[in-house]
Structures are given as structure tokens and as C-alpha cells.
Amino acid sequence: MDAERPFWKAKTLEQMSVAEWESLCDGCGRCCLHKLRDEETDAVVHTEVSCRLLDTESCLCSDYPRRRRKVPDCVQLTPSELHEIDWLPPSCGYRLVAEGADLAWWHPLVSGSAETVHEAGISVRGRVISERVAGALEEHLVDWPGEMPPAVPPEIRRVAVSAAKRKATRR
């Protein structure tokens, strides 16, 4: 491995350690939103309804180690299964690396802070409701989870990354 290059550029997904693999998740929470599949077209339709285990403030699973026991249809991403999943958001770190693209500036591995994904408006924070209160999924259809987030102007990016790095050094 090239010591100058970050692991996600130097290794294949299959070569990554468990910790490296897990760190590709940017913590946006978009994959934890319910999706519907159109029976006629096979297209994925996104909702603003989150899994009941998603902490909508942190955008992380509230019981990650036991999530599959509590939510049996929760998908556990692996390098081999990643290529067959068609519903990951285009901004997803797993998807980007699998497609040979680089991670975005707001990804915690690039910025050094888990907050930049929220500061950049990439995460689901403030945009979703829990399945516990949502009712019919069909009443909550949205497009944004399946779209690439808009580019953030460089000056805002610099401010967000600088703020995130200051917060990280204070801890």
C-alpha cells in the first residue's frame, strides 16, 4: 500500500479492514430511509421516513450492534453485496469508492469531523420522520435521498471544514 495515499484510494473494498470499511460510512442516514420499488418499472422510490432505530439528530443507528435482530430486513453492506444494491444514495462513500470516485470534502475521513456531513446539508438531520409516527409510506415520497447533493461553494466549504477541525482539536 502506498503510504502517501489514503486507504480508500490504495486498497480495494475487499482488502479493507473492518474498521476501514465501517469508516467509509459518512453518517448521513440516507440509506436508513424507507424505499419503495415500483412494481411496473422496478425503479426505487424514496421516502422521508426513517427506520425506527435511526437517531434523527446524530443520523446514526441507535443500536447498531443489534440492529439486524431488531430490524430483520436491515441490510448489512459487504463488498460483495455492494455491487448488487441499486438504492444507495449517489453521495454514499461505499458507492463512490466502489465506482472508483473519491470521497467528498464533507466526508469525515476527508474533513476530519463527523459534523461536516451535517453542516454541508448532506445528512437527513431535520428532514425526516420516524416510521413510528409516519403512517403510510406512500404519503411521504421525496426525491432528495436519491439525488447527489448540490455542490457547496468553496468559501462555505472552507468555513465548514475549518470549524470542524477547530471542534475536533478542542476535544
Note the pLDDT of residue 155: 61
For the beta carbon of residue 39, count every other beta carbon within 10 angstroms.
7
Side chain identity, residue 4: E
User: In Å, what is the CA distance from 51 to each residue of 44, 66, 131, 160?
Assistant: 17, 14, 6, 28
CA distance 94 to 92: 5
- The residues, any chain, with a CB within 8 Å of residue 103's CB and separated by 6 or more, are 8, 24, 26, 93, 96, 97, 109, 110
For residue 51 the three cell numbers come to 427506520
- Backbone angles phi and psi of 36, in degrees to 5: -120, 150
Nearest CA to 30 among 158, 116, 142?
A: 142
Strands (E), 27-140: 33-37, 44-50, 54-55, 60-61, 129-130
Q: Is the dihedral of CA 8, 10, 12, 16 positive or negative?
A: negative
With a cut of 70, list the residues of the chain below it in pLDDT. Answer: 1-3, 151-171
For the beta carbon of residue 161, count every other beta carbon within 10 angstroms.
19
Q: Is the dihedral of CA 35, 50, 61, 30 positive or negative?
A: positive
For residue 104 the three cell numbers come to 467528498
**DSSP H or E segment with residue 142:** strand 141-142
Note the pLDDT of residue 4: 85
